Amino acid sequence: MYSFKNDYSEGAHPRILETLLRTNLEQSEGYGKDTYCEQAEKLIKDKLNNQEVDVHFISGGTQTNLIAISSFLRPYEAVISANTGHIYVNEAGSIEATGHKVIPIDVEDGKLRKEDILLVLTKYSNEHVVKPKLVYISNSTEIGTIYTKSELENLSQVCKENNLILFMDGARLGSAITCRENDLTLEDISKLTDIFYIGGTKNGTLLGEALVICNKNLQDDFRYNLKQKGAMLAKGRLLGIQFIELFKDDLFFEIGKHENDMADILREGINNLGYDFFVNSPSNQIFPILNNSVLNELEKYYGFSIWEKIDENRSAIRLVTSFATKKEVCEEFIKVLARIKSNI
């Protein structure tokens, strides 16, 4: 059975494994002070065309969100998030566990807008309630949608005008910025956000995210937060090596494009079979709406997630493609789905 449940079921891109093996017996400094992390940081700064940022390598997305958000907020400050946001839905209350409230905004497409932020600021405007301080967004979002440059510019503007921190979760940033519909660059993101991270775990690495702190006022002493919260790996080189491979010759973008290309095959094939979609998601996550009778047969051949019940007869599922997804697997999925549909 082939799984489309997520984009981290496989290990890592072969080039990354080859480099890890080749450098395995080389000695290096620890705790992210090795030459590999330094080289990876330089590559990322060059790609951003921004030498003023700080780059820190952390093992996973939830750890990155938790450490960054809790480090930048005072005890009475809160986070604004879409109701689909990973920190609100899928992190076991990690942010709340640090004493910071997450203020959810109901959205249909996973994206926050200027008007959402202003409404929250109106409702939370005195010392009897928490003080909104950080705006959390994901790109791509948890339902596969992406931010346009104008949307991010509007969010950046409202955050600057109201002294808010803008933080972008980039767990699937590789897919987002290689979408056909995308008009954002990494350089744009480094100018428009205060903090963001470049996801590796869901873009071909064994593990690892690169946290980029763009706002100079947030950069001081961040390594203390990493150490205190258990995120400073003794063998930090394992993260640095992987990000060198991603950025020395644009493997990061090649992987993102491949994920999207494979999702496009699924998207087009499912659409041609007459099925609707839960949301217009141009990235490597797609959400077709299928009859439950079809799903019961389809799950005999493929692994996928049931996303939301639409009505008594239909459900939206999530299909996710990865760096290792093959074209023939996607094409075969469409054939199997067509056969099941014709037989029911």
Whether residue 288 contacts residue 278, with contact meaning beta carbons closer than 8 Å, is answered with: yes
Assign 27 a pLDDT band (cuts: 50, 70, 90): very high
Q: What is the pLDDT of residues 214-264, one digit of tens each?
A: 999 999 999 999 999 999 999 999 999 999 999 999 999 999 999 999 999
* pTM of the model as a whole: 0.97
Which of 239, 249, 324 is CA-nearest to residue 20?
A: 239
Instruction: Provide the pLDDT for residue 344.
Output: 84
- What are the backbone dihedrals phi and psi of residue 27, each rounded to the nearest 5 degrees, phi first? -90, 145
Architecture (CATH level 2) of domain 14-249:
3-Layer(aba) Sandwich (3.40)
What is the domain class of 2-6+252-343 according to CATH? alpha beta
Location of each CATH 3.40.640.10 domain in the chain: 14-249
Location of each CATH 3.90.1150.10 domain in the chain: 2-6+252-343
Q: What is the pLDDT of residues 169-214, one digit of tens each?
A: 999 999 999 999 999 999 999 999 999 999 999 999 999 999 999 9
User: Is the pLDDT at 331 greater than 90, yes or no?
Assistant: yes
| Cα angle: 210, vertex 211, 216; to 5 degrees | 140
Which of 5, 49, 55 is CA-nearest to residue 208?
A: 55
Give the whole-angstrom CA distance, residue 262 versus residue 252. 16
